[in-house]
Amino acid sequence: MPQSKNPSIKKEDTYKALKKEGMSDEKAARISNAQAAGTIDHNSKKLDERDKGSLMEEAKTIGIKGRSKMTKAELINAIRQH
């Protein structure tokens, strides 16, 4: 397997495609690395269909500050913008 120019990026082609779509460096790296590790949950619900507790956990995982005072709609927006 060819070495990536950036060793922290495990799936360079996915990373580049996500960046081309306008995704942030951090989010593109997170997704491409999760895909390479096989840890992406393909059966996940759309954010709008998830309960607030699930959204709070996701926000905590990705490090969104102030999440405890956010409404469900605000959490969804913050997750999408992260």
Using one digit for the tens of pLDDT, what is the confidence trace for 3-39?
Answer: 446 668 888 888 888 888 888 888 888 888 887 776 6
Region class of 4: left (phi > 0), else alpha (psi between -120 and 50), else beta: beta
Rounded to whole angstroms, how far apart are CA atoms 47 and 59?
11
Residue 59, token pair as written in the block: 């926000």
My answer on whether 19 and 53 are in the same domain is no
Residue 49, token pair as written in the block: 């269909």
My answer on whether 60 and 30 are in the same domain is no
Give 29-82 pLDDT, tens digit per residue: 888 888 777 666 544 568 888 899 999 998 998 899 999 999 999 998 998 888
My answer on whether 22 and 39 are in the same domain is yes
My answer on whether 30 and 52 are in the same domain is no
Region class of 66: left (phi > 0), else alpha (psi between -120 and 50), else beta: left
My answer on whether 33 and 21 are in the same domain is yes
My answer on whether 34 and 53 are in the same domain is no
Rounded to whole angstroms, how far apart are CA atoms 56 and 30?
19
